[in-house]
Protein backbone atom coordinates (compact mmCIF):
# COMPACT_ATOMS: atom_id res chain seq x y z
CA UNK A 1 0.00 0.00 0.00
CA UNK A 2 1.33 3.46 -0.86
CA UNK A 3 1.45 6.07 1.89
CA UNK A 4 2.49 9.74 1.89
CA UNK A 5 4.34 11.22 4.85
CA UNK A 6 5.74 14.65 5.75
CA UNK A 7 9.43 14.52 6.69
CA UNK A 8 9.86 18.26 7.14
CA UNK A 9 7.94 21.48 6.89
CA UNK A 10 7.89 21.43 3.08
CA UNK A 11 9.06 17.90 2.18
CA UNK A 12 6.80 14.93 1.57
CA UNK A 13 7.66 11.38 0.55
CA UNK A 14 5.42 8.75 -1.01
CA UNK A 15 6.43 5.13 -0.71
CA UNK A 16 5.48 1.63 0.34
CA UNK A 17 4.08 1.46 3.88
CA UNK A 18 6.41 -0.25 6.38
CA UNK A 19 4.96 0.32 9.86
CA UNK A 20 3.31 2.74 12.28
CA UNK A 21 5.44 3.90 15.21
CA UNK A 22 4.62 5.30 18.63
CA UNK A 23 3.76 8.98 18.69
CA UNK A 24 1.83 8.83 15.41
CA UNK A 25 4.88 8.48 13.15
CA UNK A 26 4.85 6.30 10.05
CA UNK A 27 7.63 4.61 8.07
CA UNK A 28 7.66 4.21 4.28
CA UNK A 29 10.22 2.60 2.01
CA UNK A 30 11.44 4.05 -1.30
CA UNK A 31 13.91 1.73 -2.98
CA UNK A 32 16.29 0.69 -0.20
CA UNK A 33 15.73 3.82 1.92
CA UNK A 34 13.25 3.93 4.81
CA UNK A 35 11.82 7.36 5.73
CA UNK A 36 10.05 8.28 8.96
CA UNK A 37 7.54 11.10 9.26
CA UNK A 38 4.00 12.16 10.01
CA UNK A 39 1.33 10.55 7.80
CA UNK A 40 -0.82 12.76 5.58
CA UNK A 41 -4.51 11.92 5.97
CA UNK A 42 -6.76 12.74 3.03
- Report pLDDT for 7: 95
What confidence score (pLDDT) does residue 41 get?
A: 86
Q: What is the pLDDT of residue 24?
A: 94
Whether 19 and 39 have beta carbons less than 8 Å apart is answered as no
Q: Where are the domains of the chain?
A: 2-39
Secondary structure string (H, E, C) spanning the chain: CEEEEECCCCCEEEEEEEEECHHHCEEEEECCEEEEEEECCC
- The model's pLDDT over 1-42, given as tens digits with 9 standing for 90+, comes to 999 999 999 999 999 999 999 999 999 999 999 999 999 987
> Distance between CA atoms of 33 and 41, rounded to whole angstroms?
22
Amino acid sequence: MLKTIMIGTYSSVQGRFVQMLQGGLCQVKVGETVYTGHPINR
